[in-house]
Chains A and B, each alone.
Chain A
Amino acid sequence: MSYLDNILFAVVLIVGFGYFILNIKKIYRNVNLGIDVNRNDNSKQRWRNMALVALGQKKMFTRPIPAVLHFMLYAAFIITQIELLEIFVDGLFGTHRFFKGGLGGFYTFLISFIEILSLLALIATIAFLLRRNLLKLPRLNKAELLGWPKKDANLILIMEIILVLCIFTMNGTDEVLYSLGKSHFEGTGSFNFAVSQHLGPVLFGGMGEGTLHILERIGWWGHFLMVIAFLNYLYYSKHLHILLAFPNTYFANLKPLGEFDNLASVTKEVKMMMDPNADPFAAPAASEGEVHAKFGASDVQDLNWGQLLNAYTCTECGRCSSVCPANITGKKLSPRKIMMDTRDRLEEVGRNIDANKGVFVSDNKSLLNDYITPEELWACTSCNACVEECPVSISPLSIIMDMRRYLVMEQSAAPMPLNSMMTNVENNGAPWPYNQQDRLNWKNEL
């Protein structure tokens, strides 16, 4: 009978983590639907970037107030995992505060530290909720956030509040029980945890032993179940950045922001065109197993895996859109929407594959047009403000450029004035209709 708790705990743990791992596998599979790109060079620089940008949150601190609030949450999140470990041990083996015996005074310090950070996290979460719902910050109220994304964001914050409340219920009631000598931890006295030694007696003092034990278990189980729920909610939410920020910053582009990749498939064709010895009537070289590459991207499978990882990593904070010159001036383009659309379409493609025994069956939809319109793509000035701003090194610009390539090279669908510009470049070597022979005329003009 007394093993029932432990068995139940083990079942929830295994099912919870099992389902989470299934979802992670799905993400991995979906990200790998993208074409290959080499992001394994220069590992030293990559580790450095991950340490600075993901772990150190370097880019967050350009906006100090949200950065500090976010850091409170982040620090609490990391350090609470120690208490979670103890919950795992206690839950599986029926112990109570397993670490306390071995760690002694350090345990008191550790849990106190967790409690203080949790309190700060609670303050931050409430501040975020107020900011999101009352302050009407422009970047948190743009069109693409209306509906589910806004609910999603609030839900995450509410889950965080519940988690913190569980921690304090658990520690607060146990404090009172311990002072009565009724805690499952042997002995009597105070745990001396920084917050709950004061909060416990105030909130729970005077309650009966039975009630206290029930509340303690509610806090303990609540903490555990909330973590399992949160873990499994991640895949359905915008909150995957807590995990994916690390690989995403590691695999981020290391080249100068101004350097756009040169399409290798184009290089091959251009070289052939410019080769005076090439046989003009030759059939295309039949290289074995090579599929005709599409130029540019019209759907998620045409993007590279780095861009798809970007899409899963985006937490929809909207810093990109708040600095985008097109978005600021009222154009339809919003870099955040580019990332959200990419993820939504990728998920749709993933579900399609799941439903069709591992093969994608055309659904007559694509990222282009059904999600992202040419109007959005053509509004981009390629200024890199969005890329520079992203706290987790996402590049909405690279997706925009790949989609423009598709529009121009596969569909000849550039806006008319750009077609004129390109014709000029092709014919006169300048974007305007001037003769190349006149390029040095300025020298003699007054």
Chain B
Amino acid sequence: MSEVLIVPTMAEMLAQGKQPEVLFWVGCAGSFDDRAKKITKAFVRILNRANVSFAVLGTEESCTGDPAKRAGNEFLFQMQAMMNIEVLNAYEAKKIVTACPHCFNTLKNEYPELGGQYEVIHHTEFLKSLLNDGRLTIEGGQFKGKKITFHDPCYLGRANKVYEAPRDLIEKLDVELVEMKRSKSNGLCCGAGGAQMFKDAEKGDKEINIERTEDALATQSEIIATGCPFCNTMMTDGIKNKEKEADVKVMDIAELIANAQDL
């Protein structure tokens, strides 16, 4: 598929004297991780389709500092935060959307005190608002009638109480949304948070992502929907471990919406 993604940078926008409606914070996973890049592109396709005026920081973006902070390195976190805030404030960013709940949480909750005051929303909330404003239509397409379960990312759900936006979007796909036995505020972590993504697990009798994958498989769903690139990795690994790749797909909500419309 030859596709042209329109992805302006804040620098280009500034050069043209323009301010985008929203700044898309891509995040490290969304920029570098092969699986997560697909999510980034799916989200951009939707933004392009809905004619949303957005821009990215591109090479001026840097890690929010979330994994450093959760690992206990407050120094590194605040260094990252202050550098990012300088860049964001220089561009007079007002509204930020991101597909990573970790970036979302950090930008939204931990940057204000350090001088970074923005309206920060998760991409599922943003897509929901596009839908509400009639700027986006969602059809079931290839997913119509399928069973889908949603895994709540901790930093979206419990951390920030965003439970409904992703579910509302899934339901628009004309699918059967089935809840896992542990969901919403009782959702079980995928095992990646708190910088666990970047280290081996401590000794135990099971990997957390396997425990969570079993929750998801118990719903008999064909698709496990997530809203976090790290949950996506963990669940995908879990599915592989269970040798269910042929039957069960792990997809981000942005991908579901983009794919349903053959974007």
Residue of B9, B26, B194 with highest tally of chain A CB at under 10 A = B194
Number of A-B contacts (CB under 8 A): 224
Is residue B69 contacting chain A, with contact meaning CB distance below 8 A? yes
Cβ of A436 and Cβ of B59 under 8 Å apart? yes
Closest residue of chain A to B2, judged by CB?
A: A446
Is residue B159 contacting chain A, with contact meaning CB distance below 8 A? yes
Is residue A328 contacting chain B, with contact meaning CB distance below 8 A? yes
Is residue B176 contacting chain A, with contact meaning CB distance below 8 A? no
Chain A residues, CB < 8 A from B83: 274
Among the stretches A133-141, A163-171, A373-381, the one at the interface with B is A373-381
C-alpha gap A329/B212 in the complex (Å): 10
Is residue B161 contacting chain A, with contact meaning CB distance below 8 A? yes
C-alpha gap A400/B78 in the complex (Å): 19
Closest residue of chain A to B182, judged by CB?
A: A323
Q: Contacts A259-B110, A266-B78, A401-B72: A418 and B185 contacting too (C-beta < 8 A)?
A: no
Q: Contacts A295-B74, A381-B196, A408-B73: A445 and B205 contacting too (C-beta < 8 A)?
A: no
Cβ of A429 and Cβ of B205 under 8 Å apart? no
Cβ of A330 and Cβ of B191 under 8 Å apart? no
C-alpha gap A434/B31 in the complex (Å): 10
> Per-position contact with B for A215-258: 1 when CB-CB < 8 Å, else 0?
00000000000000000000000000000000000000001111
Cβ of A329 and Cβ of B208 under 8 Å apart? yes
C-alpha gap A405/B71 in the complex (Å): 7
Number of interface residues of B (CB under 8 A): 76
Among the stretches A24-32, A114-122, A279-287, A382-390, the one at the interface with B is A382-390
Is residue A354 contacting chain B, with contact meaning CB distance below 8 A? no
C-alpha gap A255/B59 in the complex (Å): 32
Residue in A273, A333, A417, A442 whose CB lies within 8 Å of B37: A442
C-alpha gap A196/B256 in the complex (Å): 66
Cβ of A331 and Cβ of B204 under 8 Å apart? yes
Is residue B136 contacting chain A, with contact meaning CB distance below 8 A? no
Number of interface residues of A (CB under 8 A): 69
> Per-position contact with B for A421-436: 1 when CB-CB < 8 Å, else 0?
1100110011110101
Closest residue of chain A to B211, judged by CB?
A: A329
| A-contacting residues, B1-51, CB 8 Å | 1-3, 5, 7, 9, 26, 28, 30-33, 37, 40-41
Cβ of A384 and Cβ of B154 under 8 Å apart? yes
C-alpha gap A443/B76 in the complex (Å): 28
Closest residue of chain A to B36, judged by CB?
A: A442
| B-contacting residues, A290-336, CB 8 Å | 295-296, 323, 325-326, 328-333
Cβ of B202 and Cβ of A333 under 8 Å apart? yes
Interchain Cβ contacts under 8 Å between A and B, 26 examples: A256-B160, A273-B79, A296-B74, A325-B189, A325-B191, A331-B202, A332-B203, A378-B199, A381-B154, A382-B195, A407-B72, A408-B72, A409-B73, A414-B71, A425-B63, A429-B28, A429-B63, A430-B28, A432-B28, A436-B62, A438-B59, A439-B32, A440-B9, A442-B31, A443-B7, A446-B2
Which 3 A-B residue pairings sit nearest by Cβ, starting from the closest? A258-B159, A382-B194, A429-B62
